[in-house]
Chains A and B, each alone.
Chain A
Amino acid sequence: MENIYLPHLTKIAEVRRETADTQTFLLRFTDPEIRRSFSFKPGQFVEVSVFGLGEAPIGFASGPAQGNGFEITVKAMGSVTRALHRLQPEDWVGIRGPFGNSFPYEEAKGQDILIVGGGIGLPPLRSLIEAILQERDAFGAVTILYGARTSQDRVYKTELDRWRSRGDLVLLETVDVGDETWTGPVGVVTTLFRQITVDPSKTIAYTCGPPIMIKFVIQDLLKMGFAEDRIVSTLERYMKCGVGKCGHCAIGPKYVCVDGPVFTYRQLKDLPEPP
């Protein structure tokens, strides 16, 4: 019987600073067999161990085809994530997973794609975006909306520039609070809906971000005419085990860690604690 609580060991291969409190880590399994066989889908997550501090659930931030390790982007929030920020390349990190379901992907082929991310909600969506861009021709129009609190809180500045320069997608950005370094739109991410044209009948919308943002994004998507099962969101919950045992992430009869973290709005609205 496999021990579901025993992490596999990775070493940090690379650390990139995204913002004052957010870093991206490239992790590689030390066991070559696991490194080869490890695969995941956008939307899934891992339990990240800093030994001595504990574990935290973090979504995959890189595209699924990356064979040589994977990336996570982590904001320093609690004791584990703060400890992770203190680690250096070559330091040990434990990984369990991949866990959870994933963003609907195959069924989105042939459809237009609308991606709405807020703050630290962009990393899991980046995994999805990279997957879509690897098979760009399989999808219709791709629109990405990203809102950050301030221009200093924007993650993935390099990727954002790269996506913007592609020409085969629309990328719009906004910040909640403007300053002298920011020349773009100011306002919450939903204000960008006025600047885009989407056909709700042939578009699938994916959103990830803070709970309050998700709530307003869903409200606006419904007003725009999106069907409930064309709105795809993620739920975040405190979780410990990742495998439906510890009980923390249960909402109604669902466990976010095994039944989620990705849900359509049709599923979400029937939960006792809808967004």
Chain B
Amino acid sequence: MAKRVQVIQKDAVPPWVAGLMAEAALIAPHHGPNGDPQLVPLRSVKELDLDYTHDLLPPTRYLLPPSEVLFRFRNGDDLTLVPEYDDQRRIFFGIRSCDVKGIRYQEQFFRRDFPDIYFLTRLTKAALVSLACTTPPLPTCFCPCCDGGPLLKPGEGYDIQLTPLKGRYLVEVDSETGASLVAKTPGLFRDATSADLAEREEMLDEIDQKFSTSAYLSRGISKVTNDAVPEEVWEELADRCIGCGGCSYLCPFCTCFTVSDRSRDGKEGERFRRWDHCILVGFTREASGHNPRDRKCEQFKRRFFHKLSYQYMQREGRPGCVGCGRCLTTCMTAVDMAAVLMRFRELGQRPKWGPPWAAKPKTSP
């Protein structure tokens, strides 16, 4: 496969995209009526607006929807089960590096051991065109310390990666799928020169200086893996969590779901799944009422153990956070990933919040 680096002028992007829209749904950034950037299926090329940071909702929602029908059933003399698969062609155009990593992480999770046909049917019909971050990041972004961005290396999961340069985009193709998206309109592209590549390096050096949040993921990993966070610190953090689940709803890595049936008369109906979250109190409640993880602290620890422990890194191949910063945006009580990691760094020191006696070690009676 030809891994080529090419260049497209900014004013040639609309005709390129128009060609792509003719054969697939284009999920791309668009500024909605309230001005917020959203990744939505575009209705026309004019709606495309690549001048954005990122959408509060990760694009993984198009591959693992908040709710989806698994199959419909009809119960009569014969019982029939009819599964529903979504094989629509989708091009994710202009999504961010962190979200590409999220999608590829979910792909690996849903491919492993027992492949998930619903997710994988959508994904195999999808193309990922990512957009490297050269505009100033949001104050909540911390991808550099999570190996989540702002730029992807070849092999990290994009089909095409665009990097904005002055008046043009660098176009890196990393798969057959990516090559096919460029091949339709070859006249719009030219091969990149060393000057193009040098300009990108300069822009990236500049961007690296602009991240204001540093989350020290590696320190968090060692603390959680070695069980080195004192129980009272977990309690202190979990006490502040209101268990709304917002962090999980917005996480490009989270994959948990629950399954229910819907039927009016028991004769006809559907089985569907919808997102579920380990931070919610009922997540582990059994039919008997017994709940092995009924304490808020245990639910809170569970979320961070899954995302940060070395045990899970061995299982999943990487930590469960790309530093997209969405949980920082949504968490009302500041117990998001970055805040928790910062608290771990202060272990042994007096916490910045709370009364002075909170830092004193508890003595047993």
Residues of A within 8 A of B (CB): 1-7, 9, 49, 51-56, 77-81, 92, 94, 211, 236-238, 240-241, 243-248, 250-253, 258, 272-273
Contacts and interface: CB of A to CB of B under 8 A. Distances in A.
Contacts of B305: 252, 272
Contacts of B258: 240, 246, 248
Contact of B114 (A236, A243, A248): A243
Contact of A51 (B73, B115, B118, B260): B73
B212 interface: no
Given A51-B269, A244-B114, A253-B312, A1 B120 contact: yes
7 contacts: A4-B114, A51-B261, A52-B269, A236-B286, A238-B283, A248-B256, A253-B314
A253 B311 contact: yes
A77 B75 contact: no
A3 B71 CA distance: 10
8 closest A-B pairs by beta carbon, nearest first, are: A78-B287, A247-B256, A253-B311, A52-B263, A243-B114, A77-B287, A52-B266, A92-B79
Contact of A248 (B109, B284, B290): B284
Contacts of B71: 5-6
A243 B113 contact: yes
B116 interface: yes
A123 to B, nearest CB: 15
Given A1-B120, A51-B75, A54-B259, A237 B284 contact: yes
Interface string B229-245: 00000000000000000
**Range for the number of chain B residues in contact with chain A:** 35 or more
Given A237-B284, A238-B283, A272-B301, 12 more contacts: A2-B117, A4-B114, A5-B118, A5-B259, A49-B271, A52-B267, A54-B259, A238-B285, A243-B113, A245-B255, A246-B259, A248-B276
Contacts of B266: 51-53
A contact patch SS: loop
B110 interface: yes
B287 A56 contact: yes
B71 to A, nearest CB: 6
Interface string B114-151: 11111010000000000000000000000000000000
Given A51-B269, A252-B305, A240 B257 contact: yes
B38 interface: no
Contacts of B110: 245
B113 A244 contact: yes
B315 interface: yes
B218 to A, nearest CB: 19
B309 A51 contact: no
Contact of B255 (A5, A94, A247): A247
Interface string B187-214: 0000000000000000000000000000
B288 interface: yes
Nearest to B315: A253
B145 to A, nearest CB: 23
Contacts of A258: 113
Contacts of B73: 51-52
Contacts of B271: 5, 49, 51, 54
Nearest to B285: A238
Contacts of B79: 9, 51, 92
A211 B255 contact: no
B104 interface: no
A248 B302 CA distance: 11
Given A52-B261, A54-B260, A252-B311, A237 B81 contact: no
A247 B259 contact: no
A94 B114 CA distance: 19
Interface string B27-68: 000000000000000000000000000000000000000000
Interface string B256-300: 111111010111010101001010000111111010110000100
B14 interface: no
